[in-house]
Amino acid sequence: MSSTDGNRLSEEKSPYLRQHADNPVDWQPWDERALEAAKERDVPIFLSVGYSSCHWCHVMAEESFEDPAIAEILNEHFVPIKVDREERPDVDSVYQTICGAVTGQGGWPLSVWLTPEGKPFYVGTYFPRNEGHGRPGFADLLTNIANSWAESREDIEQRGDQWAEAISGELEDPPGSGGEPPGAELLADAAGTILRSADREHGGFGTGQKFPQTGRLHLLLRTAERTGRGVAGEVARETFDAMAEGGLRDHVGGGFHRYCTDREWVVPHFEKMLYDNAELSRGYLAAYQATGEEKYAGVARETFGFVERELTHPEGGFYSTLDAQSRAPDSRREESGDEAEDHDPEREEGAFYVWTPAEVRVAVDDETSAELFCERYGITEGGNFEGKSVLTESASVDQLAEEHDRTPEEIEADIERAREQVFAARAERPRPPRDEKVLAGWNGLMIAALAEGAIVLGERYANPAAEALQFCREHLWDAEEKRLQRRYKDGEVKVQGYLEDYAFLARGALACYEATGEVAHLRFALDLADAIEAEFWDAEAETLYFTPAGGEDLVARPQELSDQSTPSSTGVACETLLALSNFVSHDRFGEIAGAVLGTHADTIRADPRMRASLVLAADRRATGWLECTVAADALPEVWRERIGGTYLPDRLLSVRPPTEEGLAEWLDALDLKEAPPIWASREQQGGEPTIYVCRDFTCSPPETDIGEALDWTEDLAPADGLSADSDLVDQDENDDLIP
């Protein structure tokens, strides 16, 4: 007997789910109604997890989910459930864990077969319609699983019990409690581990597909600054250069794609994710501060421009993704009204972004400029991607100036004019669909990046950060209950927030306070921290869970310790709680962070490459914050320029009212009876803006000269933290690095 509910995805707001609303498969969303249907019918669940811009998700849909014959099998023998992993990262995390353990890999689409109780018993990712590529055919696989359920159910349920227990052990059970958090030596030890996987020839890490690993780059920059070991900074710069110069970056319109499919950073998977562009722009700001090289600031500005132009909601929040696929430029198929939800088999991956020399010559009105543009960005007749070219910086401006006997300024001007014309021509192409979900956590990442941009590059970036923060407060935050919802789409709010939503948004709110000095942003950050304590902190296990205490019961309650496509929510939560502990009169935030880092100390040390966010949080706890407290009505612009232009990775910038009377109003707004140490007795001196620089209860005298104050930052720098057996690779000891 097949499902009588039919396909219910047209009722959903998620663009990914709506992409499958016309499938002949009787898709159900993940909800109580679907789970109960599996129990009532006593059939397995087929769970398919993906997201709107996922290339192989589109492929599997075209091959299998649009096939009436496959739909008949699915509807007859299973309850088919579709999940948008961007809406439900908890469901994704639970079943990705078993996929990785069983198959050695994970990813999307994630395909899992579950008992009616939600216990997995068969798992994989993409399956072709027919057998091939070393994978079974999807139709045959469905038939075999249905037969096994009928004939060998006891064996299947036993496997489900074993796998569910394995998931719980991996995700839910902490390794122990009461351990000592890692000390200052962890940073250099972690950097040594990361450096041994560095690709010194092409940049990045490893010899296969190249992913942005921004947490690792922050760790290496901090190590170079702390220890003076040049190789850490070199590897970070090489990777920033490779990502900026290669195909990962959109050289016409700005912004970054998801990852590159090759070691050389040439051909990307073309989807653009909000979180990548948030974390990468924040990384390039740090690279600019650490090196003083303007090119890194330029990449950050360009990325912010892309986000403001193409991923910004009219009311101020940020959309989630741009698809990898679009129709080819010569397609004449009429545009649909809602492109993100319209399935179109004519879409091609990367069609919006790739070029031929002939297309450039049509777009650019000057032949010389067109040729220079092609030389600069490696656009050739043969191409590097299916007969066309992904743009990469293949020749420098200086090289072209020498070859053409012209000045670099002339070459650069011609190329920029050509780029503007190519950008205008590209705007006429069919655009990649946009997933217009507004997710709290991903917005938090972008808010933090823009707020840091306001400090480093100029205050113009403070306004979009504050507007997005206000959007999240207005639409996703329940101030009375201190509860955060995860997703806003077309007026609908849905899904309880996860730890990443609270932690990322709290970091963004704190960064907005640093950039603007607005106490309301700090108040919101503290409210989110209170909610983290109430909803995600388990005092008995001494850990932070990914799902709230009152959330849906899954096979396991996951924790998120590793950096994946986004930073570890546990790591960001710990570092943000440590920062906010400076603004409260109790010690709970710092104690929670210390306990979590102690609980997972051995796990962090075991693989610091995958847990860079937790390493950075542990280092922050061990060395303390560099408190820069400014007593003034607002941060003077020249001070902003000096502080923003200086690499201070442990900086906590705090602007407080210049007088005790003004401070009293702030304390009232924050429900504090007395000033926290970061503000106490730090008044303005002589009617001039005054800065106090402190670390670990050691402070500079009050300074009205920003240069004098920044000199104190060197005197208050932490020790390098090198242990006696530290294996940080020296500049002349590169034999262990990938050649």
- Give the neighbor-by-neighbor strand order of the sheet with 45-50: 28-29, 79-84, 45-50, 110-114, 120-124
How far does Cα 401 stand from its chain's mean position?
38
How far does Cα 277 stand from its chain's mean position?
8
**Is there a domain that residue 34 lies in?**
yes
Per-residue pLDDT tens for 634-645? 999 999 999 999
The CATH number covering residue 647 comes to: 3.40.30
The pTM (predicted TM-score) of the whole model is 0.94
Same domain, 165 and 220: no
* Residue 196, token pair as written in the block: 């041994």
Counting the structural domains of the chain, the total is: 3
Residues with Cβ within 8 Å of 10's Cβ and at least 6 positions away in sequence, in order, are 18, 21
| Cβ atoms of 23 and 7 closer than 8 Å | yes
Torsion angles phi and psi, residue 387, rounded to 5: 85, -5
Longest distance between any two alpha carbons in the chain, whole Å: 86
Per-residue pLDDT tens for 451-471? 999 999 999 999 999 999 999
**Is there a domain that residue 500 lies in?**
no
Same domain, 158 and 15: yes
Burial class (CB in 10 A: 0-12, 13-18, 19+), 551: middle
Chosen domain end from 388, 418, 435: 435
The CATH number covering residue 48 comes to: 3.40.30.10
Same domain, 222 and 167: no
Same domain, 273 and 141: no
> By residue range, what is the domain housing residue 397?
209-435
Which amino acid appears at position 214 of this protein? T
**Is there a domain that residue 178 lies in?**
no
Distance CA(428)–CA(448), nearest Å, equals: 33
Same domain, 219 and 160: no
Which amino acid appears at position 365 of this protein? D
Residues facing residue 691 across a β-bridge: 630, 703
Same domain, 368 and 272: yes
Chosen domain end from 390, 420, 435: 435
Chosen domain end from 435, 452, 487: 435
Long-range Cβ contact pairs of 96-99 (< 8 A, separation 24 or more): 96/49, 97/167, 97/170, 97/171, 97/558, 98/123, 98/163, 98/166, 98/167, 99/123, 99/124, 99/125
109 upstream amide cis, omega within 30 of 0: yes
**Is there a domain that residue 127 lies in?**
yes
| Cβ atoms of 372 and 400 closer than 8 Å | yes
**Is there a domain that residue 728 lies in?**
no
Distance CA(118)–CA(46), nearest Å, equals: 10
Same domain, 21 and 123: yes
What three-state secondary structure class fits 282? Answer: helix
Report residues of the chain scoring pLDDT below 70: 1-4, 177-178, 330-345, 719-739
**Is there a domain that residue 604 lies in?**
no
**Is there a domain that residue 569 lies in?**
no
Cβ neighbours, 10 Å, residue 343: 17
**Is there a domain that residue 570 lies in?**
no
Same domain, 122 and 26: yes
Same domain, 215 and 124: no
Please tell me the predicted confidence (pLDDT) of residue 731. 40
Same domain, 140 and 285: no
What three-state secondary structure class fits 523? Answer: helix
Report CA-CA distances (Å) from 144 to 44, 157, 164: 13, 16, 22
Same domain, 252 and 394: yes
Same domain, 160 and 274: no
- State the sign of the Cα–Cα–Cα–Cα dihedral 89, 94, 100, 102: negative
Helix or strand (DSSP H, E) at 81: strand 79-84
